[in-house]
């Protein structure tokens, strides 16, 4: 089978290698679609992410759909949860598997991911896809799951004013989920104009092009909300200017949900702003058991994931797909097998 491995920063190579043999509770999967994620681009550019470094020539890929290739369910199309929490530690047992420090993750550290024709993955992490969800949309359920968890953390109420700072895939999905959760005003910011066009089409009521002057951005939001500010600010850029704009634009007693991953592994904010407003600040760590809701929302066309897929490549063209994603030309770059 073909696989794509990251050997060093910017060094992706196509290989021929044996089909993996499933062990214990694993199922053999034939991979059908894999999304290129912002976190994959950290690996691609930095040969690591946060404090994790490249351990061996790694197969990336954690947003994916597949077809079961062995056993009684052979031929069934599935979405795949890339995270395998241990299920036994205190955090798992208290209902926070997303915080499990023993999690194995597809395309991270020692665990090869989905940029290959076949892979073996535990059966309990597979979710059958209805006919209404095609393979590429099935791969989008993983980032949608992150967006669901992001909005869940905000405990929104109908009629709230929210802002999404950073309109990549996660931002545009967070925007749609926040609208479903009852947001009536939805501000979206990004530095890239094509992302703001998408934000507008997907339900943003106001879009603001970020210029690096976060004060101007937050002033515009404050003016539009009659000086009150946002009930919830979702930071989905992993960028310091977006963090600062989010803290500036949120109301007294509001919430800031930090979802972006910063390249330099450090996030800061002006303490006096956060303190005087008495802000609640939450960090997003992956997701909980949200795949059933993600499947429901996409199959009922309540969240549009297809509009986010702007580029499609074959597996052997993965090096080009990553170069395009790295230039931030589109929104979601999808690799289809």
Binding site for Zn ion (CB under 5 A): 37, 39, 85-86, 89, 92, 100, 102
CB-based contacts of 132: which residues, under 8 Å, 6+ apart? Answer: 298, 299
Nearest CB to Zn ion, comparing residues 32 and 169: 169
- List, in sequence order, every beta strand (DSSP E) within 171-291: 185-190, 206-209, 230-235, 250-258, 280-283
In the complex with Zn ion, the residue whose CB is nearer, 161 or 286, is 286
Which residue lies nearer to Zn ion by CB, 69 or 261?
261
Q: Which is nearer to Zn ion, 85 or 254 (CB)?
A: 85
Residue 275 beta carbon to Zn ion: minimum distance, rounded to whole angstroms? 33
Tokens 């960090």, located at residue: 283
Nearest CA to 113 among 78, 63, 147, 56? 63
Write the DSSP assignment of 47-68 as a string of letters. SEETTEE--SSB----EEEEEE
Q: By C-beta, is 19 or 89 nearer to Zn ion? A: 89
State the minimum distance, in angstroms, from the CB of residue 168 to Zn ion.
10
Indicate the residue among 47 and 86 with the shorter CB distance to Zn ion.
Answer: 86
Q: Helix 169-180 to helix 141-154 angle, to the nearest 10 degrees?
A: 50
Residues 6 or more apart in contact with residue 4 via CB below 8 angstroms: 12, 13, 14, 15, 59, 60, 115, 116, 315, 316, 318, 319
Query: Shortest distance, CB of residue 334 to Zn ion, whole angstroms?
Result: 13
In terms of phi and psi (left: phi > 0; alpha: psi -120 to 50; beta: otherwise), the region of 109 is: left
Residue 155 near residue 318, CB atoms below 8 Å: no
**Closest distance between Zn ion and the C-beta of residue 169, in Å?**
8
């Amino acid at each position: 089978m073909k696989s794509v491995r990251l050997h060093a920063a910017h060094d992706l190579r196509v290989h021929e290698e044996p089909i993996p043999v499933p062990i214990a509770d694993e199922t053999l999967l034939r991979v059908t679609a894999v999304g290129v994620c912002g976190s994959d681009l950290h690996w691609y550019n930095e040969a690591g992410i946060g404090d994790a470094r490249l351990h061996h020539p790694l197969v990336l890929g954690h947003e994916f759909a597949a077809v079961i290739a062995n056993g009684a369910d052979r031929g069934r199309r599935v979405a795949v949860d890339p995270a395998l929490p241990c299920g036994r530690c205190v955090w798992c047992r208290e209902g926070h598997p997303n915080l499990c420090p023993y999690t194995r993750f597809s395309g991270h550290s020692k665990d090869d991911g989905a940029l290959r024709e076949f892979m073996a993955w535990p059966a309990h992490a597979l979710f059958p896809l209805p006919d209404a969800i095609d393979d590429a949309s099935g791969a989008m359920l993983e980032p949608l799951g992150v967006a669901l968890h992001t909005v869940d953390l905000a405990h929104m109420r109908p009629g709230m004013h929210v802002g999404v700072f950073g309109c990549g895939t996660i931002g545009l999905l967070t925007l749609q989920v926040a609208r479903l959760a009852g947001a009536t005003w939805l501000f979206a910011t990004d530095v890239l104009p094509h992302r703001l066009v998408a934000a507008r089409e997907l339900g943003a009521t106001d879009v603001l092009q970020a210029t690096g002057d976060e004060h101007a951005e937050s002033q515009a939001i404050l003016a539009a909300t009659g000086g009150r500010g946002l009930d919830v600010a979702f930071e989905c850029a992993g960028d310091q200017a977006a963090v600062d704009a989010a803290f500036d634009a949120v109301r007294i007693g509001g919430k800031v949900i930090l979802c972006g991953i910063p390249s330099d592994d450090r996030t800061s904010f002006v303490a006096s702003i956060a303190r005087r407003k008495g802000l609640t600040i939450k960090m997003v760590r992956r997701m909980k058991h949200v795949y059933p809701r993600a499947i429901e929302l996409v199959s009922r066309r309540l969240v549009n994931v297809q509009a986010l897929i702007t580029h499609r490549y074959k597996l052997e063209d993965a090096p080009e797909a990553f170069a395009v994603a790295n230039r931030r030309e589109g929104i979601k770059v999808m690799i289809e097998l």
